Amino acid sequence: MKRTTIIPGGYESSLDLRQTERAIRLIKEYFQTNLAFELNLTRVTAPLFVESGTGINDDLNGIERPVSFVVRDLGGLPVEIVQSLAKWKRLMLADYGFKHGEGLYADMNAIRPDEDLDNLHSLYVDQWDWERIISGEERTVDFLKRIVRKIYDVIRRTEKYVCHEFPGIEPILPDEIAFIHAEELEERYPSLDCKDREREICKELGAVFVIGIGGALKSGKPHDGRSPDYDDWSTAHGNGCRGLNGDILVFYPLLDCVMELSSMGIRVDAEALERQLKIRGMEERKELYFHRRLLEGTLPLCIGGGIGQSRLCMFYLKKAHIGEIQAGLWPAEVLSACRANNIFLL
């Protein structure tokens, strides 16, 4: 579905260019420090590219093409720009010797050439990718919610910090994040598609974590796409619902839209991986390096996700377009419309 760019009427940024650049630095420093403290994470250096054909790179919804090239000095070895680090992080938890309750985070920079460009989506993705080791007993919805609340507390704390540093900006986040399963959301708004359901619930509650994204709902359709080999979207957990993953969503009044700040979840164990590969008809992936290690039991159980850096900065600084936060390429008509309406893209 082709997205369109929204031009809010009478828009004026609260910060000029230099103030914006300073604010971005402060937000990134403050947020990652607090996130690492709350989740007991150590910062690690992440790859920009990985070897093709290993199963380490993520295929997100399963249709996005990774940017690829060959390396001359490695005999023409094919490699891919990462799309996210979900699988790589799990390998590193094992190979770096992390223990239960410990984790890592990294600055992930990706290129997604098939992205539909609009106010919230660009070709370039920057996020904090994090992963933490858990026990088998912690593979529950209650534990998932506990971690979501910790992350949301950091999101709110950072909002207060930004408003203190830049008095012209006012906080808008609610004190608590609400939880709803995608099945419940479908039952609540049966005539709406998934994006309109998200908009309605977020407009009502302000901040919501939608649980169970990737598996088919009662309608036969998933709430949204997920690859079969990182998030667990198929494990049953009561009330007929399935899935140990979800998205942190907030309502963004400036654009009258939902902003997804984080996609995260408890990761597949060997049983869930087998089940989800079978559901998607992708059982041949079991022969790939990452999948073999998981099925052989050499990778830890974990929870993890990604938190959008530019998205967060855009939300906190009340910007109309993600291009006001990150430098990028945009269609000529978008550049023209933005310039005419005080939206200055980097």
Positions marked active-site: 58, 112, 127, 247, 260, 263
214 and 86 Cβ atoms separated by less than 8 Å? no
What is the number of other CB atoms lying within 10 angstroms of the CB of residue 264? Answer: 24
Count Cα atoms within 13 angstroms, Cβ side, for 261.
24
Q: Classify residue 330 by its DSSP letter.
A: -
Report the amino acid identity of residue 240: G
C-alpha angle 26/29/35, rounded to 5°?
Answer: 130
The number of residues making up the chain comes to 346
H helices of 206-317, in order, are 270-280, 289-296, 309-317
258 and 252 Cβ atoms separated by less than 8 Å? yes
339 and 160 Cβ atoms separated by less than 8 Å? no
What is the number of other CB atoms lying within 10 angstroms of the CB of residue 209? Answer: 21
The separation between CA 312 and the C-alpha centre of its own chain, rounded to angstroms, equals: 11
Give 216-231 as a DSSP string.
Answer: B-TTSSBSS---TTSB
DSSP-derived 3-state class of residue 259:
strand
Rounded to 5 degrees, φ, ψ at 107 are -80, 115
Q: Locate 265 and state its tokens.
A: 């979840």
Sole residue written with tokens 């910790």: 150
145 and 318 Cβ atoms separated by less than 8 Å? no
